[in-house]
Structure formats: structure tokens, C-alpha cells
Structure 1
Amino acid sequence: MKKKSVNRLCALLCMVIVGVSGLAGCGQAAQPSKPDSNTAGESPAAKEESQADKNQTADAGDKEERRVSAMVMQSRNYPGLGKMITKLKEEENITVDLQVVPDDQYDNLLKMKLGSGECPDMIDYSVPQLYGLIDAPKYLADLTGEAWTSRLVNPDISTHDDGKIYSFTFKSFNGIQGMIYNKKVLEENGITNLPKTPQEFDQMCETLKAAGVTPILLPSDTWVPQIWMTSGFSRAFGSDEKSYEFAEAVLSNQAKLTDYPELAQVIDNYLSNFTKGYVNEDYLTVSYDSCLERLANGEGAMLYGTSLMVGTIEGTFPDAQIGMFNMPADFDQSDVMGAVYNSIGFSAYKDSKNLDTVKEIFNLWSTPEYCNLWFEENAGFPAFPDVDGGKMNEEVLKLYQEYLDSGKLVEEMNPILNDLQPLFSSTLWVYYLEAPSKGKMDGQALLERFQGDVEKYMKEKQAPGF
């Protein structure tokens, strides 16, 4: 397990917040100042640069065509990514053949392609999670010496245990986890104050339910329901130190998951929303995209997720009035909030015949001309200091600032248990989605089932202690 320094993470957060604190009032992520090409006062240098861009576009057809393949999760096929791919074709004559894969099929397909030696040139995944899922040095190209790595705001995210970088990242920090809600829906139903206690949260859900509004939306994409737990487990422990102590004990077989009743309490809290009738009945079939649309149009009031989702919703549904709050829960006695210390990105297949072209793409994508496009409809914290992170939600920034200042941000559990990453999407996350429908699986039973998976997997890996 790669144990991050808590002090280093705090330093990163302070560094990130410096870039946004001065802009929180206008809801902007850190943005470089740049001339407006449409103003009469445009500088000669800017005009010359603009003309050069036009010439570059015009000359793209004269360049030799190159093609690379890439696979991306369906939920991350963002409009900004499409714009970057289009720009590559128009200016560099580089075609990216994109294979979009349903999220719940992605891990198995990726491992199958790697095993067969027929992997695409570019692989979409979050890091450091990818390093727990596969053997990065064996399958991924070493990008440590690439020029863009020296400009990374937070190189720790993409750095492997061996000290090398195997992934290009878009973000320096993936934000916070909490309850995303539709402000207009709450206002229309007379809810003027956000809940501060579990009892107030239930009362709010009952009010929405009585009005015919689904209180909590949940899709069948397993990576979304699990956010409740990856955030909740860390919130239940109350600090990064306790979370890492727990992980060290479990991953060395000195303790079992079932030895920690607070974990079962988090799962039971999640399951209680089903028994109370707060969750949409079609949670086993409805897609993530459909849930976002329901939240935006008011069919549903809330969805537990990440601040990244807030940017996605606002970019897709600009008229939606979206906010976020830290859901009160009995398992969280310290009122802490989950933080996501990872980033969406792409890696290069080590044996790609087009590796030089992929590296060229990553270098181009690290520039503001390309990377700004990614953030236009998906605001966040850029991996590079000169990139415009887009217009961020003011409520998210305020919430982030509040919990950062009070020292109450805790790292979500997934990266802390990264050694178990290969089991998450195939077992644990499936159990979370199955448990409500099975009816007899409470938090303790679910943990017992997963503990068996953990012991079998770690023995097969010949992990110390197993």
C-alpha cells in the first residue's frame, strides 16, 4: 500500500486553495490572464499568435496522417475530450479512434486486452487507482522524462511506488464528496435550510417523498453507489491517520473488515434509504446519465457523489441550480468530509506501436490551448498551473474552503485500500448494489462476504501475512 504523507496532502490542498480562494466570490477556478482577441486593443503579439494558429490549422492537411486508439469509460466521454480530439485532427492530422466502454464493463475489458497483448494505445483511468488495478511497470509506458511532468501541480497523484510516472493527468485534485442537490426542488417544497442532523435529513426526505419527488437518485453504474461507502468509511474513522492504521491492519491480515463495526454502520446507513423509500425504484437498471438528467430537471432532489459530478451537471444542463452539502450521519461524529486525492487521466500502453505519437498527444494536451477545452464544461482543479479550470460552483468552493480551514477533510478509502483495487468493481461494488434487493444482507453480512474475497485474493497474490 502506498501511504501518502498527511502533511504533504495538506500542503497540496493549501497550494490548490491559493489558486481559488481569491476567486471564490465569482465561482472561478484559477485562471491565467489572457488578452481578448475580439477587443480593439489586441496586442500585435496576440494578433501574430492568432494568425500563426490559423496557419497551423491550414497546414494540418499537409501533415502525414497518424492514428492512435484509445478506450474511455462512458461516463468520462466528456464534450471537452471530444473537442481536444477534434483539435488534434484539425491541427496535427492525428486521428484518435475512441472506443467508449460502459463503466461496469471497463475493468474486465481492460484486463482482458492487456492479457491478450491487444490493448489500445491510450487507456483512460483514474490514478493512483490504476496502479492498484494492474501491474503498471509491466503494461504502461514510463512517462517520467516527458517535458510536461515538470509542470504538474501535484505529481504525487500520478507517481507510482517505484517513483516513476505512468499516467497523464488532467487534474491536481479531484475535489470533495457529498450530497449534490437541486436547489430549486428544495425551495419549491418549502425546504429553506440544509439539514444539520440525521433527523433533519430524514425529515427533508420525507417532505420530498410526500411531494412525489424522489429524494435520492442512484444509478446502476456501480462506481456511483460506492461513493457513499468510500467517503463514509473515512468519515467514520474521522482522520487519515486512523484510516491508514485500519488499512495497514487489514492488508497485513492482522485484522478483518468485520472487526470494525463502524464500517457496517456506514453500509447500514446507506441501506436504510432503500427501506425508507428514499431511492428511485429502478436503481438496478437506470444509467448514470439518466440520473444526472433527472436531478437537473427536478424529478429527483439529490445524488451522493463528487464535486466532479457538479461540474458535469452544470456543463450539460447550464440552467440547473445545483449545490452540495455534507450529509449529516450518525457514523460521522467529527463532521469531516471526504476528499478525492486522485485524477482522471490517460496512460500509454507500453507495447504500443504508436507510442511516440501518444507521447506527443500528452505533451499537446498539457498546454492551455488543449487542456482548457477539457475544463470548459467540466470545471475543476487543473493539473497544470497555466490551465484555466473553468467556472466552478460557488457552493462547492465555499464548502471546500470551510472544511479545509477547519482541518476536516479526510481522504476517501479507495486509494488507501488500493491493494484491493482489482476486487472493487467485480465484487464489493456489486454487493453494494445487490444488497438492497436481496433484503437479508446488512452491513456486517456484506463485510463478511467481502472479507472472504480479500483473503482469497491476497493468498493468491502471496501477500505478506496471508
Structure 2
Amino acid sequence: MFLHQRRARVAAASAAVTVLALTAACSSGGSGGEENTSGEPAGEITVLTWRTDLVEDGTFDDYVEQFKEKYPDVTDVTIEGLTDYEGEVKTRMNTDEYGDVLAIPGSVTPDQYAQFFEPLGSQEEMAEKYSWINDKSFEGQSYGIPVVGNVQGVVYNTRVWEEAGVTQFPTTPEEFLAGLQAIKDGGIEVAPLYTNYKDGWPLSQWDGWLGAVTADPDWKNALVTSDEPWAEGTDYGVVDGLIYDAVAQDLVEVDPTTTNWEESKRLLGTGEVATMVLGSWAIPQMQAAAQDAGAGAEDIGYMPVPVQVDGKFHAVAGGDYNLGINVNSDNKVTARAWIDWFNEESGYSESQVGLSPLKDGTVPEALASFMEQVELLTLNPAPEGEESLFADIDTASGIVTTDPKFRQDTIDAARSGAKTKEQIFTELNTAWAEGRAEVGD
């Protein structure tokens, strides 16, 4: 039977749009205050966050008070919640004034980490204490620590799926599509799958399936030597093929160009939308929206990627945003103390019902049953010296997989019938091969 899971995480993930091409300024420190030379946490810092909801509800006020209780010489911690986090931080990084502590934007490539962020320790040393530390490491140095771990899959309305007669997790893309079709054929006004096309960034959430499709922790590393990432049966081939097929078969919202992220949460909760591809972080948001709409939070569930390898489901587990320190900060001591305290003492990951970034952290009860159904997969880092190779090829190819535009193009083609799935994949493979040739093997 489907799992009815409850989460309490309300993160708002955002996808990177373009690769930064910036030069870090080297004038005054990032906080704009006096330099802290005491060697102890003191003075003031500015923390940038994407969690505007936790700023507005006072949660961060509580965090600041607890932090200042531990470090009484800290006079102030200014929290800045940014709605368009990726876009606003990217703009601010054209100067040195981008806070003292911030989540590392996805658009910063590995070879740019040292340009913008203070090293936090050797990759080997940090990996002894934290999981997923490889995500923001380069040439043996770590520049960020994840705040929480997520698993990747599909959030869905269990009532709608069960009323359509689907009571088992789909084990293949074909079964998944058949389930969507059964929902469509049910005679009620429900969008079987919601793309969130207009907001764009949710389309990048499908990347959470990459690696789980083939149960290969090295799928990304292998692509730097391949000219056909979108070949049949590959991770990209299955993911983007399923997107195309769902749209071409009219199994998504009527007009993807008018989708609305905030409204989609209510629609899923009330059963007007059946399914969305999002990380586990989204579950509490959907449950809260369902309750606000007078529906049942218990109808919100989570299913694994609809692919099995050797008879098992797999789910990629990885870190959320990584906290880093502005390399220009005048108060790196206090900035580091905030990061360590936030990850180890604030209780943030527990409150979000996510996996702790600490290797000895406990698994939240709300995720335990889901993880009984899947085999967790952590993606391997790129080999030393090749940390930016995938990003370099991706950029040279012109695809830029961190930009949802290439998936919006796929949806456009599927809606209009202008291109077949095979034509799209041929174009993507050709562009990738040209990017590889330009970068060099």
C-alpha cells in the first residue's frame, strides 16, 4: 500500500539559472562592520537565507537569541530573507557585500568557490563529521556544509491515486504514466501531473531522479566521457522522456504557461492536482496547504522514483543548501561559529523532518517508513581535478542543465508536436558532444 507520510519541512528550493561569471571584489568586508580580530565569536554578522517563511514566523528570531545566549559577546545577527534567493544573491555577488553567512548559490561553479567563499576545512577532514560534504568541495577543500539532507522522489495525493485504482507504487515509467492516465480517466477535474512550468525552478527538481534511475552513484561522472547523455535507458533519457510523454499524452495541467507554485500546493492538498515531482522537503508545505484549504494533511504522501533496479527502488539522498562564509567577511570567526551552531545545536534538521547533516545524526521517524521501501544512494564526487568538468561541458554545450529552460523547451515541443522525443534527444546529444569536444576530454 502507499505510504502516508507526515513531514514538517517548509523549505523553498530554488534552481540555479546561469553560471556566474563574476570577479569577487576585495574592498571592505562582507558585513560592513569592524573586523573581528579577537579569535572568539563577537560583534555582528549578517546571515542571508532563502527561508523567508522562517524569518516571517519568528523562527530565526529564536535562533538568534539562542546563539547570542551561547556567545554573549555577539552583539547582533541580522537575518535577511530573500524571496528570489538565487537571483538576488547572484546580483549581490558582483560586489563583496553578500552577507557573512549565506547558502552557496547553485550557479557558482566549483572552480569559483575559492573566489567567493572561505574554505571551511579539508574535504577529508570535513567528511569524517558531515554527510554530503563533497557537494561544495573543490581540489580537496570544503566551502559549504549542508543544513539538512533530503531524499528525492514524488509527492502525491494518496486519495486521488487510490480512487483511480492505483494502490501500489509504480515500478516503471510506463506504470507511472498508466497511473496518471487512470487518474485522467476518472471523470473528475484533476491534473494528473503538475509541471509548475511557469515558475521554472520546480522542473529542476526532476534532477533528483538522476542516479536513482540506474542506481548508479557515478552517473554524472560517467557523462563527461559520453556523447549521448539522452540515450534510451540513461538517467536523462528516462527523466526527460517521461516529461515529454506525460505532456504529449495530455496528462499535465491544461496550460503549463499559467502555473503557480504557491497555488499548486493548495491544489495538491485538495486533490485538484494528483502528483508533483519534488524533494521530500516539500511534504510539509503540501500538508500545511491542505489543512489551510480544509482538506486532509493525511492525503499527502511520498513515492519513490518509478524505476526499479534488481527489484529495488532507489532514492538519491543529498544535502540541501550548503552554508558558506563570504570570503570578504570581516567576521569570519563568528560566521563559522554560526554555521557550526546552526548545524549541530539549533535543531533545524529535526524541525524540518530531514536527515541530519551530521553522520551520527538520527533518522526522523517520519522518513523511516519511506526509507524502508528504498535503497538510499549518495552520489559520488567528481575525481580530483575534474570537479568542474561537467559544468564546463554543460556550459559549452549551451544546454545548461541547471537552467529549467531546456525542460520548458521539451514541454513546449511536446505540447505543440513540433518535435518528437527522439528529435529533441538527438539535438541534446549533439549539443553535448560539441560541448565535450570544445572543452576536451
- TM-score past 0.5 threshold: yes
Contact 1:214 1:278 in 2 (8 A): yes
Match of 2:130, SS state, is: coil
Contact 2:122 2:141 in 1 (8 A): no
Distance 1:125 1:291, change over 3 A: farther
Partner of 1:279 in structure 2?
252
**Map 1:250-399 → 2, pairs under 5 A:** 250=226, 255-257=227-229, 262=234, 263-264=236-237, 266-314=239-287, 319-321=296-298, 322-328=300-306, 336-368=313-345, 370=346, 372-376=347-351, 378-384=352-358, 390-393=364-367, 395-399=369-373
Match of 1:181, SS state, is: strand
Contact 2:130 2:145 in 1 (8 A): no
Contact 1:80 1:373 in 2 (8 A): no
Structure 2 residue 184 is matched with structure 1 residue 226: no
Q: Return the offset for 1:279.
A: 0.9
Contact 1:222 1:429 in 2 (8 A): yes
Partner of 1:4 in structure 2?
none
**Map 1:185-264 → 2, pairs under 5 A:** 185-198=160-173, 200-209=175-184, 210-220=187-197, 221-228=199-206, 231=209, 233-235=210-212, 237-240=214-217, 243=219, 246-250=222-226, 255-257=227-229, 262=234, 263-264=236-237
Structure 2 residue 80 is matched with structure 1 residue 98: yes
Partner of 1:434 in structure 2?
409
Q: Distance in 1 between matches of 2:91 and 2:110?
A: 12
Q: Deviations over 1:60-110 (max 9, x none)?
A: xxx9873415152xxx5453896552124435253324141336xx2x554
Q: Distance in 2 between matches of 1:313 and 1:366?
A: 25
Match of 2:196, SS state, is: coil
Distance 1:208 1:237, change over 3 A: closer
Q: Distance in 1 between matches of 2:369 and 2:6?
A: 8
> 1:86 is matched with which residue: 61, 70, 90?
61
Q: Return the offset for 1:436.
A: 1.9
Q: Distance in 1 between matches of 2:202 and 2:5?
A: 29
For structure 1, the 5+ residue unaligned runs are: 1-23, 30-62
Q: Deviations over 1:292-332 (max 9, x none)?
A: 22212222111122223234434665641222223546x97
Q: Deviations over 1:132-184 (max 9, x none)?
A: 366101110112289x958833263356132222113223x422x22222122
Aligned residues: 380
Code of the residue aligned with 1:168 in structure 2: it is: I
Contact 1:235 1:338 in 2 (8 A): yes
Contact 1:68 1:121 in 2 (8 A): yes
Q: Distance in 2 between matches of 1:435 and 1:113?
A: 32
Contact 2:228 2:429 in 1 (8 A): yes
Contact 1:338 1:412 in 2 (8 A): no
Partner of 1:114 in structure 2?
93
Q: Distance in 1 between matches of 2:394 and 2:89?
A: 14
Contact 2:136 2:322 in 1 (8 A): no
Provide the aligned C-alpha RMSD in A. Answer: 4.3
Q: Return the offset for 1:346.
A: 1.6
Distance 1:159 1:434, change over 3 A: closer
Contact 1:178 1:304 in 2 (8 A): yes
Q: Distance in 1 between matches of 2:172 and 2:142?
A: 43
More helix by share: 1
Match of 1:234, SS state, is: coil
Q: Return the offset for 1:280.
A: 1.3
Q: Deviations over 1:190-242 (max 9, x none)?
A: 544444455543443233223222111221333322333552x535545335x
Contact 2:7 2:284 in 1 (8 A): no
Query: What TM-score results when the alignment is normalised by the length of structure 2?
Result: 0.69
Q: Return the offset for 1:341.
A: 3.0
Code of the residue aligned with 2:252 in structure 1: it is: V
Percent identity of equivalent pairs: 14
Partner of 2:31 in structure 1?
none
Contact 2:196 2:256 in 1 (8 A): yes
Contact 2:164 2:182 in 1 (8 A): yes
Code of the residue aligned with 2:155 in structure 1: it is: I
Contact 2:52 2:82 in 1 (8 A): yes
Contact 1:323 1:395 in 2 (8 A): no
Partner of 1:141 in structure 2?
118
Query: What TM-score results when the alignment is normalised by the length of structure 1?
Result: 0.66
For structure 2, the 5+ residue unaligned runs are: 9-40, 69-74
Partner of 1:162 in structure 2?
139
Contact 1:141 1:347 in 2 (8 A): yes
Q: Distance in 1 between matches of 2:195 and 2:248?
A: 14
Contact 2:212 2:315 in 1 (8 A): yes
